[in-house]
Structures are given as C-alpha cells and as structure tokens.
Structure 1
C-alpha cells in the first residue's frame, strides 16, 4: 500500500494544475450542494419536529357562539377519526388603538385558556408566567429568539375592555391565537366565537384533513363554522419563502455537480491516456492492475478531500445567513431553522464517493492496458480519424494554423465532447443569470415612473417622530401642487383578524392613482370595490388562499366579507391590499401613514423632495429605490455561481488544452522546425477549442432559457408577469452564442502561450 501511495503522491506533484482544478471544482460543488440541501431540510424538518413536540392542532376551527353551544362543540371531540381535541375556548377580537410593544395598532385575537398544557397545542412558555387572574395576558411570540423581559408588566388598553397586563410570552406552533387570558377574563371581553383544536388519527393529505373537519362539524347549524386553519396551511406558511429559493439553489447545485463529473472524468481520462508509458513502467516493476487503478484514485482523493472539506466549511459559514434570508419575515415559532449535522456528513462522504466513482470508469482503462503495449506506445498514440480530418482541412484555403487547429478535436473526440459539455453548462449558467438579471431589473423599475417616485412617510408620536400639523386633505392638495408631481397615492393601514386564523393580518388601504405606482397584477385585477382585495403570492400561499377565494376581515366588532380578485407580483407575506372604501367600512379612523408621489419624466427629483419636506415638518420624503432584498439576493447569488461555474468550465478547457499540448509536444517541435511561428502555435491551439466552444455555446443557450423560465415560474415570493419573463432578444442571444467561445479561449490562452514558448531543441531532446 505504501508503494501505491508513493506513486500517487508523485502523480499529484507532476499534475499540480489538474489537482488544483479538481479541488476548485469539488469546492464549488460542495458549497452549492450544501446550500441546496440546507434549504430542502429546513423547509419541512424543523417545523414538523416542533409541531409534533407541541402536539400541534391539525385543524383549528372557529365557531359562532350564537349558533352553537359549548356542549355541542365538546361532543365533537368524541367523533370518529379524532385522536385528541381541546376546547371549546372562548375567542374574542379586541382592538389596540395605538402602537404597542413591537406591533402597530389593530386587532388582537385573544383566547381563554386555563393553562398552556393539554392534549392539543401545548404552548411553550418562554418568559414570565401563565395568566392566572383577571387583567393578565400572555402574548404569542411568533419569531425566533426570545422576547425582551422588560416588556413584562406592560399594559394593553382596548376601548370598552379592561386593561390587560402582559405577564408572560408563549409560543404556539398552531398559531391558535395572538394572546391568551384566563377563561373568566375571556368571557369579560364579550367573545363572539369559540375555538376547538383537533388532532386526527390520519392527516396525511389536505383532502383527508378536509374530510375529517367536515365529518367533525357535520350536523351543526348552518353558518356555525366561521373559519378553519389547518396543519398544511401552517406548513406552507413556514416554508413558502424558503421553497421559493429552493429551485434556484438546487439548479445551481446540480449544474455544479455535472461540471464536477465532466471535468473529473476528463482529467482522469487524460491522465490515463497521456500516461501510457507511466502505466507500463508501473506494471513492469510489479504493480498489479488493481494497484494501478488505486494509484489514479488515490491521486484524485487528495484534491477531492481537500475541496470537499473546504467547501463544506464555506457552506456551513454561509448557510446560516442564507437560511436567515430565506426565512426572513416568517413566523418560525419554536422551530430551529439551521442546517442539520447530517447534511455535513452527506457532503463530506457523498461528494468524494461521487468523484471516485466518476474517476473509476476511465481508471479501469489503465487496469486493462497490457504493460508491453503501454511501454511501446510511449506518448499517447495518434488517431486515424483526426489525421483524415486534418488532411481534408489542409486541402481548403484556410491558413495552415487554422486547419490544423480545427482538426485537433477529432483526434480525441471523447475528450472534446466532455470539454464541450462543460462549456455548454457554463454558457447555460451565463444565459440563466442574464435572464434573471433582466427579469429582476424589469421588476425593480415597476412603479418607479420615468421621473422617479418619492415615498413620503408621515411621522407619528408613537414612532418618536413629529406628527403632521396639516390634515390629510390639505397635505394631499399641497403635494399635488408641487412642481413636477404627476400623481399622488395615499396609503393607510390597520391590523385585522382573518376569520378562522389565530393571527392577524395587515390591510393596506389605497386612495388615488394607485395604478401608477403599484405592484403589477399577475392574475385577476386590482381591487375596485369595498369587498375586493389583492395580495402577493407569499400571502396567498401562507394562508392557503387563491384568487377567487372569500374570507372575512374582523376589526372592533365590524366584519367585512372580501373576495381575492387579484394576485400581485409581490407583496408583504402578512399584508393584503384593499380600496379606500374598504377602509371606510372596516377602519374609518385609520389615517394615511405615507404618500407615494410619482414625478413627471422631466421633474427634478431633488427639488421635488425639498419642496415636499417644506410642506409640513411631519412629512419625511425619500426617493424610492428599485428592487428589494429578495431579488437582490437572487441576482447576487446567481452572479457568484455564474462566475464560479464559468471559471470552472474555463479550467476544464485549460486542462484539455494542457493535455493536448503535452501529448503533441513532438508534433509541435516538428511544426516549429519547418517554420511555424509562436503566434501561429497560439492561433492553432486557440482554434482547436474555439469551434467546439461555439457549438457548446449554441447548445447551452436553449438550456439556459429553459432554466430561466423554470426558475421565474417557481420563485415563491414573486410572481413575475409574462412581460418580465420575455427578456431574451436577438443582440443578447448573439452575445450569449459567443460566451462559449469566450470561455474556451480564456481557458486555452495560458497553455497555448506555454506551448508557443517551447523550443525545438527542448522538445526533440525529450524525444
């Protein structure tokens, strides 16, 4: 075994460049694969573990207390298919009219429970204690990290209700409420609903869960069920944004693995072909065929292990911020969103295994090669097919350097095809990133207007700012009078309770020229009536809704039945859009918190900003920037992966050209001896890869376009309109076709110049 290791170590020293290429390829693949696996694991595993630990409710059902009694609701717990149930609990919706703790004014769903335990939805108390007396309240803490202990003892006041003092913070993976009080305190809040929590014996699919809920509620009075929230909706809410990133990360991970396989196979195949004499010598001095194969596999194991370890370390370092971005704004509860240790084990063991299996196929060629044939072959033998092609090309009017270079790929067709495949994947990545960048830039310009848009915030005392002196109508009148202003849109918002859900949602009300500065509508249309709303894909996914579905918004005893008439390109995962007339019905006291001021094309944005700030000390104008963190993250990662994969593809070309020049040292010496100049050597060498690079580029473009369409259709947090997906045009495609040539030429330049500097005497002396 020591002889095998000594021979492989010597082979590593002789092939430092190939060793570096393999190590870099494996490192890049390790990073992308680890990130994709981290997202895949975090999208479901942490939620399911935390949900099971709390015995979360498969269904949280709200009932109208005026239509069904608590006794009849309690009897539903004994129906077929129910594994466990808790309740009925009194459920009230109270309104907090001003900012409190970390939240803005709006509705708060409060449920009366005697303790946090029970057969279903066992709450985890984070800080403080459970509510045991009148006027005490436990708040739900929905996000990771712990609440500030200084918030304990704060009072929340609601009109027509006694003040409630915060005595603790708890977490519910079922999102059954915003807060909990004692059952006696809940009755003092005049609840209109009762809540039941169910766990079923079988809840493997949404259809089965709906059937279970229908069976449990069968026989109750019509209209008794006011809303339902189920396990699958909660799980979608948890993983919706991460699953939007998953296709992107997975695709780049697969591309990285494919490039790794191609280049590793190419390197080992080239090492075997160019090392015929070395193989023959090893066998002649007593190495068995298996030991020869072991030499080549051990030669690969050094850069592979180093690349895997470094790639796993880099992936571990950046996986936490990537997961933080993927789960930003998500209510994670007690779920710990992080990459599991098993992912690192999979990468550390899986990638080296894949690389060695890839290398085994060409290494077996050395296993079968007889010693006498290997020694007699010397340098790699010529190929008749390549010579025939070169003879035919020599009969054309092409310069001799070009004809010789164009014929070289036919001498090693297998090696040429592997190199072309690596270049094609590089062009695929470049095409994909070009399309993603075009789509995201088009999205970033939405609503910006040719002259720009000012986002004018309205100060408030609760936010520690100076409130406006002027009224809403006067502010809008003066904004429209500013030179260069084209349109003005007012936005107010409130928090409301969504029927059947324990949490609350933000409702944005718009007045004015909304279409000029709004998110584009991808499906349906923008709300026009008081009973119409629209939301982004994240909101719809997290709440299990779709365009055409109906729900009810509740606030301060007012109820507004609404229909989702449109899906926006993007929107806050917890917010929906409504009209100003809906504001008059649901939250008439909600005042504008900002104005969106679109400027005319020739307007001076800085002058307009100064003029707006002078209207009232409570106005805070800022020039609206295009894009957002999510789209910037996508483009950033896509660009990084494109540079890495393109560099790796170029290194694959570099390796191929290096092998070719080493094999053809004698031919190069002969060509130089009959008058070929160094410049002609460079031209011949570069031409040998430029043609295959062009073909690979033409093959990679449709693959990149298909990958772009796949990604933009499955980014969960944005739904791009068709106009933003159609980003490829003829000049772009022509430039992308040359990307394959550029990658190939960049990879070939260094070994081509090295070959050009070879002296005739040195080459013939070696022969």
Structure 2
C-alpha cells in the first residue's frame, strides 16, 4: 500500500469518532435532502401530473336518458377532435343517511363496474372496488366519515329504503362522481318518476384552452343532439378548483423540503470543515515527513469522502424508505400516484452531497496545507499566545466553581473552533424555530380557512320530507316558513349563546365579467371564525368584507364602494374589511338586509350556533333535533375539517426533518468537542494531577460549550423568527392571499425562551460523550499523551 493509502486508512480508522460523526451526519443530511427534494418534486404541478397519470377527462358530460340512447353516446366517441372516451355510465343523484341517522349531502352516483378505462382511471386509496350489488365506493373528496370503510349508507326516501356498504375510497382527478356503484344499483337508487341519466368522459386532441374544450363539446353535441346534454364540466374548471385547495399547502411542503436541503448543506459543511480544521497539527507532521501540500489536501479529502460515501449510501436508502409513506400522504393530498422517489432526486442528492464534502474538505485542508510546517504543528496543538487570557481572568472572578470558570473561558482561546460549534448550534436552533413556527402557522391557516368557530351547524341542503332529490338538481332555496321554523327552534332551545345564518347567491359586480358569489348573513357572524386581515367585519347593511382576491380583481381597497347588481337592481356596497379566505373566484360577505329590496334568490343556507358557557353539545343537539324532527332538517356538532390529514402530514414532516437536522447539529458539536478534548488531553491530565475529580472534568468540558450553546440558541431563535416572518407571508402571497396576523404572529415569549434554551441542550448533548471520555481517562495516560 502506498504512503498516501496508509495515511488515509490511518486517518479513517484511528479517528473513529470523527469517522462515525461524518458518516452519521452525512447520512441524516442526505436522508433529509431526499425527503425534502422529493417533496419539492411532488409539489411541482401536482394536478397536471395526476391528470396525466390517470388520463383525466377533458370533458365530463351528463346526458338525459330520455333524449338519447347508449348506442348514440358510444358513437359520439367518433366526434371530431375526440381522442378517447369512456362510458356511457348510468348516473343518479341520491341523498344518503349515515348510521348515526344524520342526512349527508346529496351524492352524484355513477354506475361503473371497474376503476380502469381509457379515460379517468380512478385509483383507490382505501379498500377495494365494487364487486357486485349493495356496495359503494366513495370519492375521497366526499367522504361520509374519517374512516368510512364498512359504513352502511341508507336511502330512506327511496322505495324499499335500499342500503349500500362502503367498500372503498377512491379519487377521480376529474371529479367525475361523488361515489361509484355497480351499474345495477343505479336503478335501485333512482326514485319513482325521476329521469335517468348517462355520463360520458372525453379526452380531446386539443384541450389546453377553454376554446379548445368548447370546440370539442360542440362536436359531441352535434352528434348526440343539443337537447340530450343537460350538463358538462371542463377539466380547466376542476384544475382551478384543485389548485385553489392546494395553493396554501404546496408552499408549506416546498418550505419544509427546502429547509431540509439548506440546513443539511450548512450543517454537514460545518462538520467537515471542523473535522479537517482540527487536524492542522497532523497536517504539519505529514509535511515534516515529506508530504507536499497537494498530497496533504488529497489525503484529507479522501479521509472525509470515505465515511461520507458510506453515509451517503445509507442516507439514500433511508431517505427512499422514509419517503414512501410521506409521498403516499402527499399523493392523497394531490391525487397523484407516485410510486417512490424520483430517480433524479437521488442522483442530485448523491452528487451534491459528495461534491459538498469534497469541496469543504478541500478548502479546509488547503488552508492548513499552505501553512509552514512549524506553524501547522504549533497551531494544531496550542492556542495563539495571549488569546483568551482576558476571558480567563474575567471568569476566574465569577462566583463559580473553578472547573466551570475554566470551561467558560475555553471558547475564547479557540475562537475558530468555537465559531464552528456556534454555527452548528445556530443552524439547529434556526431549524427548530422555523419548523415550530411554520407548523403553528399551518394549523392556524386551516382554522382560519374553515371559519369553523360554531359549536353546532344546521345545513339546509336536505329535501323537504317525503320528496326525493332530482338528478343533477341545484340546491333549493329555503322558504320563509322553513327559515322561521329553524330560527324559532334555535331561539327556544336552552343553551343557545348566539347564532347566525348564511345563504348564497350570485350577483354581478360592476367592472368585472361573470358573477361573484355573495354570502349573505342574518345575525352577528363576527364570532364565526372569519379572520380579518385588515379593516373590520361588516357591522350594518350596506357594508361588506371581501377576500384578497376580490380586491385584486376589482382594483379596490378598503373604504371603496362597489356596485353590485342582483336581478337587475343595483346596490352600492362599501368594503370595510379584508377577510382571509383562499379562493380564485369573486366572493363577498355582507348583511342579508343589504339586499332586502332585491329579494335575492338565495340558493342554499346554513345555520351556525354558538353554545352558552357550560352547555353540553351532545344534549343540545339531541334537544334541537327533537324540535326539528318534523321539519326535515338536522343539527349536528361542528365536525372535523376535511384537510385534517394534510395538517397531520405537514406536522409529522416538520417534526421528522427537525429531529434529523437537530441530530446533525448535535453531532457537529460532538465532533468538535471530541477533537478538541483529545488535543487537550495532556492539559486534562495536569488538571487531574492537581486534584480535579471526574465530575469536575465533566463540568469543565460541558461548560466549555455552554456559552456557545446559549449564544447559538439566541442567534438561531432570532434568525428563525426572522425567516418565519419573511417566508410565511411570501408563501401566502404565492397562493394569492394575504395572511392574517393570527397566522404570522405565532411565537410567544415563553416559546421563544424554551427554543433559545434548546441551543444549550444541543450543545450539552453533543459534549456529554467526550466529557465522559475525558473523565474516565487515567491521569498517567493523559500526561504521557502528546
């Protein structure tokens, strides 16, 4: 073996702690990088990828069975511009009731024997596909419960009161149905006198724009007949809705992924630089025995690459294994069907990690290799004369045990190494602070997004008693008598602390095209969870609060007035507040009395109730439902949000990346303290010969990183808060919304204090192992060590 090979092998095997630390730090950093890179890749155009993977439908068309036939619909696949089609599938709209005897929203049910086909392949996320009558697969976008498998859905308004058992959950990227059943069950779910329907799914040769989709739709109608088509949905509409739903979550995923990438680079770079930097004396010895500066650099780059290479290999394997469940959860959020980490993510991480290790080691070894041999030997063993003496004199005057004061002064004698430890701790504290803040912000985003401050909700989408919903029917208007019945029941129920109702309609806004959705409120809704970004909630008729997108689309500001036209009559409304509500559509919140003169056609309504202090939700709901028993409406407790799984995913991801990066930071401290302690072993022997006990030795070594840990924690917390306050609003702007103060101001003084002390914990955790080694070293061995 050559002299170079012996030096490399000796360095790797002799400095076992350094080798293990470099390997573990690189492994964890690569694991975090693979996770982060995979999430960044998964968050890039998720809808487009899912649509391509599932051959989504460019046009979902609903036809009246009385106006066409299945054969004619099958022939429509030959229409000009149609590249592929699926169907016809029989369809029906039915309203189920859960096992808890609660009416659920109406379901658009499609009879489909298999989830595969040339268009709109439907992947299952739970359970299996229907294999015969009496079974149903629910859409993941329209679940009956958090875990709906084996749930029995009843349809009491239909003849024979049929029941269906939920056997699976699936997601159609084209959102072609709320549920799928065996084709024979569609007849069972079709009420007396209700018209049957067919669904056809089309893919067009060109569908990039609305004009392309409209042209394809016209070609289909020309073959089938205009009277047969009763409804159609463009994939562009679905894409807009999907991107609105994930717009706030994609930036969070990208932020966590980028956090893993950036912090991995910084921390591993610090570990490698510290490991090579502490070998300055050994470099001087190698030069003394004839090694050239170039040979020294190559030797130490190789010593860093050997354990780093092992760590990279282990990290890639671990990252791919950990990425499988994380990407599976991301697939649930996006509707994609990725099978694992994208190959180029592994390639980029491997090349980047090895390149970073080689470059960092080369830079550190080159600096040491250029030193004169005598200087390198001297620098590697002893601090520069006079350095840190002022700190030693100052700490000696403190009312502290002498071992502690000696340890506190040590970082000032080795400022370069102290800076490396400080950097590692700072990165760790920054990571924890930002991750904790981002997770808290995300929780508050979900809370603000759902406007779910009510304790009990009454949704009025159910049909009147004794009637069945018509297929494809829009939500009906609530009659004055029905509204009075619900209001009287709420007011008479003991325990009511407050309530409001909200109904929706479409209005025109001057200066814009199309329609805006108006949410008209009756009662005080200021407590209903509508977070105000700026301004205030409306307080009287003639005022309105709007989301950020409304202000952007209309070019207005708080204090401006807009003219809203409803049923041909114009109403002037003054904007008094900006509400946090992620949407790309025009939306306005106003008092229903503002439009009393126009009598808007409110298409749906819901009642939101706040209970008085001490009232029992279960007892209140039972009593209110008893009063409402003859009305056909049902009260229910405010349930969990639909995106709770997303929040769990992001919180778990933040915790995982934080733990890994904190561990890397602690190993950086461990590496520096081990190397520094080994170089000070003769000094430790002198201290022990003068009477220092093992406990005092541990106290001295731990104290040597205490100041650095506190400083790193304080700096890391400050940087983490600054990064959080810069990144979180920017992420909201990327999604097209302004975030309220409750989302951005999440760090409390107590939390910041605990996070700052986290830097000290990282430092102590990294120093305990070398401190124990120093305490166990025999005095005679330490004195003989050079």
Instruction: Give the TM-score range, shorter chain.
Output: 0.5 to 0.7
In the alignment, which residue of structure 2 is the partner of 1:383? 384
Superposed counterparts of 1:40-55, under 5 Å: 40-42=40-42
Are 1:280 and 2:285 matched, yes or no? Answer: yes
Superposed counterparts of 1:188-267, under 5 Å: 188=227, 241-267=249-275
Distance in 2 of aligned mates of 1:759 and 1:670: 11
Deviation of residue 709 (structure 1)? 0.6
Deviation of residue 664 (structure 1)? 0.8
Distance in 2 of aligned mates of 1:739 and 1:714: 27
Distance in 1 of aligned mates of 2:228 and 2:407: 86
Deviation of residue 21 (structure 1)? 2.6
Distance 1:743 1:27, change over 3 A: same
Question: For 1:397-445, what per-residue CA distance to the aligned partner results, in whole angstroms no more than 9, with x for missing partners?
Answer: 5542233212211232111111111111222223323434554565677
Distance 1:702 1:686, change over 3 A: same
In the alignment, which residue of structure 2 is the partner of 1:167? 200
Distance in 2 of aligned mates of 1:260 and 1:583: 66
User: Equivalent residue of 2:783, what SS?
Assistant: helix
Deviation of residue 662 (structure 1)? 0.5
CA RMSD between the two structures: 5.9
Q: Could you tell me which of 708, 713, 731 is aligned with 1:715? A: 731
Q: Could you tell me which of 657, 660, 665 is aligned with 2:676? A: 660
Moved more, 653-662 or 626-635: 626-635
CA contact (8 A) 1:450 1:600 kept: no
Distance in 2 of aligned mates of 1:614 and 1:527: 34
Q: Could you tell me which of 597, 607, 617 is aligned with 1:605? A: 617
Q: What is the count of residue pairs matched by the alignment? A: 655
Distance in 1 of aligned mates of 2:463 and 2:526: 31
Distance in 1 of aligned mates of 2:781 and 2:330: 58
Distance in 1 of aligned mates of 2:176 and 2:342: 19
Moved more, 256-265 or 384-393: 384-393
In the alignment, which residue of structure 2 is the partner of 1:759? 778
Distance in 2 of aligned mates of 1:721 and 1:287: 63
Distance in 2 of aligned mates of 1:446 and 1:657: 46
Distance 1:560 1:636, change over 3 A: farther
Deviation of residue 27 (structure 1)? 3.1
Distance in 2 of aligned mates of 1:231 and 1:465: 34
CA contact (8 A) 2:448 2:530 kept: yes
Are 1:704 and 2:720 matched, yes or no? Answer: yes
Q: Could you tell me which of 389, 404, 407 is aligned with 2:406? A: 404
TM-score, with structure 1 as normaliser: 0.67
Distance in 1 of aligned mates of 2:759 and 2:260: 18
Question: For 1:591-644, what per-residue CA distance to the aligned partner results, in whole angstroms no more than 9, with x for missing partners?
Answer: 54x543222233233433443454456636235458944444444333333332
Distance 1:387 1:696, change over 3 A: closer
Deviation of residue 260 (structure 1)? 1.8
Distance in 1 of aligned mates of 2:53 and 2:615: 59
Are 1:619 and 2:634 matched, yes or no? Answer: yes
Distance 1:548 1:525, change over 3 A: farther
Distance in 2 of aligned mates of 1:700 and 1:306: 30
CA contact (8 A) 1:300 1:356 kept: yes
In the alignment, which residue of structure 1 is the partner of 2:608? 596
CA contact (8 A) 1:44 1:235 kept: no
User: Equivalent residue of 1:656, what SS?
Assistant: helix
Any unmatched runs of 5+ in structure 2? 60-80, 83-90, 97-103, 109-117, 123-170, 470-477
User: Equivalent residue of 1:264, what SS?
Assistant: helix
Distance in 1 of aligned mates of 2:502 and 2:453: 21
Deviation of residue 674 (structure 1)? 1.0
Deviation of residue 261 (structure 1)? 1.3
Moved more, 473-482 or 560-569: 560-569
Superposed counterparts of 1:60-459, under 5 Å: 98=93, 125-126=119-120, 142-143=173-174, 165-170=198-203, 172=207, 174=209, 180=217, 181-183=220-222, 185=224, 187-188=226-227, 241-270=249-278, 272-273=279-280, 275-276=282-283, 280=285, 284=289, 289-317=293-321, 319=323, 340-365=342-367, 367-368=369-370, 380-386=381-387, 388-389=389-390, 392-393=393-394, 396-399=397-400, 400-440=402-442, 453-456=455-458
Are 1:12 and 2:23 matched, yes or no? Answer: no
User: Equivalent residue of 2:381, what SS?
Assistant: coil
CA contact (8 A) 1:127 1:168 kept: no
Deviation of residue 358 (structure 1)? 0.8
Any unmatched runs of 5+ in structure 1? 61-85, 88-95, 108-123, 129-139, 198-227
Distance in 2 of aligned mates of 1:551 and 1:326: 41
Are 1:478 and 2:494 matched, yes or no? Answer: no
Are 1:739 and 2:758 matched, yes or no? Answer: yes
CA contact (8 A) 1:24 1:307 kept: yes
